[in-house]
Each structure stands twice: as structure tokens, then as C-alpha cells.
Amino acid sequence: MKLMRTWAMARKEFIHIFRDPRSLGMGIAMPMILLILFGYALTLDVDKVPMVIWDQNRSQVSRELVSRFLGSRYFSLQGLVNNYREVEEAIDSRRALASLIIPPDFSGRLASGHKAPLQLIIDGSDSNTATIAMGYAEGITMRFNQDIALKEIQRQGGRAVETPIDFQPRVWFNADLESRNYIIPGLIAVIMMVIAALLTSLTVAREWEQGTMEQLISTPVKAPELILGKLFPYFCIGMFDVLLAVLMGEFLFHVPLRGNVALIFGMAAIFLIGTLSLGLFISIVAKSQLLASQIAMVATFLPSFLLSGLAYPIRSMPVVLQGVSYFIPARYFITLLKGIYLKGVGPRILAGEAIFLVIFSLLMFILANKKFKKKLV
């Protein structure tokens, strides 16, 4: 293999990229657009759940309870209702996702030392939001219940009872539980895999469709030289995209970066070699730009988005899908990025994921090299 012939192929591919604004736009602009769209649209935080309230008690105690709900950042008042028909109408029209119903004897039962029922109706058509909103409501009600009990003990002149367990939860690495902080690193991995595979999936197929493959076959360029030459320009574009993504994560989304920046680029380089080689392998097999792009999208986006742990926890998946996820390279790259971004860990902790990425990249490059034959078949 000669470096001069490899550089000649790379130069040819660079010229084609700069003469084709669509390829350049797909390689640079598209990842940034996708990162902005997904970064702002894809969030697992549930804030400002719209709520209507039917306060049948209208006492100081019920108003204090209502203020606890509306004083939090988790619920927003959409109006007061006076009967179940209005509650049903508000939820059916999606004007509200929850309704708090306080019975007429609420304060009286509390004053007499009896349990007071409190009803919360939630729209279960969005099960994820409903589950999280129920957790928020239970937390607010539990704190209100504890305050009522403490006031009653103090009113009776008794000594406040201390609980035997002093439970003090503390969240590491993402103290505010902002979903954006762990979604953005994962999005970088998924978007880079999709774009990289799509870009190189068109390279060899384009040569066959444009009739220039016959000219390449007649040259002394060997298969490894052709593959490396075609990978190098898109590798440069991919690394530039990684730089832009890191800058956007820092200054646009304000994701904390606690680890080594050089380690991010090093792991990204290994990951890009594998995904670019995968796209090139698809291009060699398909020999059609349309078919190659479709295969690349199916082979990268769906598995990377669904089975990498970005959108859904892998441990919650069926055992079969958990096994399939081990063959998704984005899974390891997402783990690497989250570890570097949020935990600030280094190669000693992330060595396992890095080894898997190296194996994936070597395997894809070898497959692309073996599959490409300088024959008109």
C-alpha cells in the first residue's frame, strides 16, 4: 500500500465533496440541526403539569394544600372547577392532565384527628407523564401530611417525635436531575453514527452509478488504498462535527463537561472509523445510492436510538433485546460520553467500552476491505 495513491483517492473525494454542496451540507449542517432539534425536543423532564382544582372545602387548610401544589415547579393551575363534569371535560380536551379534588369535610376530618381523603385524577393516556406526576403529587402530599402532624403535636404541648432514620438522599453527577445533561451526550453518539454511515454509504455506490468505477478498477489503486482514501475526507468532516457538537453542548445546552476533552475526541475517532467503514461496506454491497442510504438508515438510526440506552433503559428491556444491544456500537460510545461528560472518569474505568469500539472499528474496516473487489461483477 502506497501513501501517494491513498492521498490521491482522498484528494479526489475531497474535490467531489466541495463540488457537491448537498454532501457538504449533510456532513456538517445536518448533525447540528438534528442536535438542536433533538436537544430541545427530546426531554424526559416533566414540569408544569396542567392541573384543574375542585376545592369543595374552601378552608385555610385546603388553600394551604393547594398552594403547595401550585408553589412547586411541577404543576400549573389551568382553572378551578365545580363538579366532576367540568373535571372530565378539562381532561378530555387535554386542557389539564391532572385534577385535584378536595372533599367538603377535608379540614374538619383533619381537625378531629381522622384521615381525610384526597383525590387526584390523572390522564393515563400518557403513562410516563402520569407516573411521574403521581410521584410528584405523593411527595407534596406526604410533606403536607408531616407538617400537619407536627403542628398537631405542638398544639397539644407534646414533644416533637424524631424519626429514627435520617434519610438524606443526594444525587451525584447530575444534581438537578436535568434530562438534557445525559440526553445530549447520547444524541451526539446517535447522530454521528447515522450521519457517518449515510455519508459513506453513497461513495462506492456513486462510482458504480456514474460509471467511474471502471476507471478506478483500471488504475493500480489497491482495495485498502481506495477504502482509506474514501474514508479520510469524511473522517475529517466527522471530527469537525464532533468539535461543533462539543462546543454546542458547552455553550448552547450548558452540559457539564467534567472529563478529559482529548479523551472524547480519541474515542470519537475510533467510533467514526467504525461507522464510516460500516457505511462503506453497505455501499460496496448495495451498489445503488438509494438502496445504500435506506439500508444505512435502518441499520444505524433505529438500533442506535432504541437499543443503545439513550431513550429507554437497557435493563428494562426483554432479555433478548438486552442481548441484541451488545452488538450496537452506539451503546458503548454513549456510555463513554456519559462517563466523560458527567462523571469525569478516565480510561481505567472506560477501558471495556473502548475495547469494544476498537473491535467494532477493526471488524468493519476488514469487512469493507474484504468485500471490495476490483472486478466488474
For residue range 36-74, what is the model confidence (pLDDT) as tens digits? 888 887 776 778 899 999 999 999 999 999 999 999 888
> Are residues 238 and 357 located together in one domain of the fold?
yes
- For 118-140, what is the mean pLDDT? 88
Residue 12 lies in a domain: no
> Are residues 366 and 240 located together in one domain of the fold?
yes
Q: Which residues contact 163 (CB under 8 A, 6 or more apart)?
A: none
> Are residues 105 and 193 located together in one domain of the fold?
no
The number of domains in the chain is: 2
> Are residues 232 and 282 located together in one domain of the fold?
yes
Confidence of residue 376 (pLDDT cuts 50, 70, 90): low
> Are residues 128 and 231 located together in one domain of the fold?
no
> Are residues 342 and 293 located together in one domain of the fold?
yes
> Are residues 27 and 90 located together in one domain of the fold?
no
Residue 315 lies in a domain: yes
pLDDT at 374: 63
Helical H segments across the chain, by residue range = 3-19, 21-24, 30-41, 60-71, 84-92, 106-111, 127-155, 179-200, 203-210, 213-218, 223-251, 261-286, 289-307, 319-325, 329-338, 347-371
Residue 171 lies in a domain: no
Indicate whether this model's pTM tops 0.85.
Answer: no
DSSP, collapsed to helix, strand or coil, labels residue 49 as strand
> Are residues 271 and 237 located together in one domain of the fold?
yes
Q: Are 17 and 233 in contact (CB under 8 A)?
A: yes
Q: Which residues contact 369 (CB under 8 A, 6 or more apart)?
A: 223, 224, 227
Residue 169 lies in a domain: no
Instruction: Quote the domain boundaries for residue 100.
Output: 49-155
Q: Is the pLDDT of residue 178 over 90?
A: no
> Are residues 183 and 330 located together in one domain of the fold?
yes
Residue 167 lies in a domain: no
> Are residues 139 and 189 located together in one domain of the fold?
no
Q: Are 357 and 333 in contact (CB under 8 A)?
A: yes
CATH number at residue 105: 3.40.1710.10
Residue 353 lies in a domain: yes
pLDDT at 158: 58
> Are residues 227 and 96 located together in one domain of the fold?
no
- DSSP for 143-193, written as a single string: HHHHHHHHHHHHHTTPPPPPPS--------S-TT--HHHHHHHHHHHHHHH
> Are residues 219 and 262 located together in one domain of the fold?
yes
Residue 294 or 171, more confident: 294
pLDDT at 165: 52
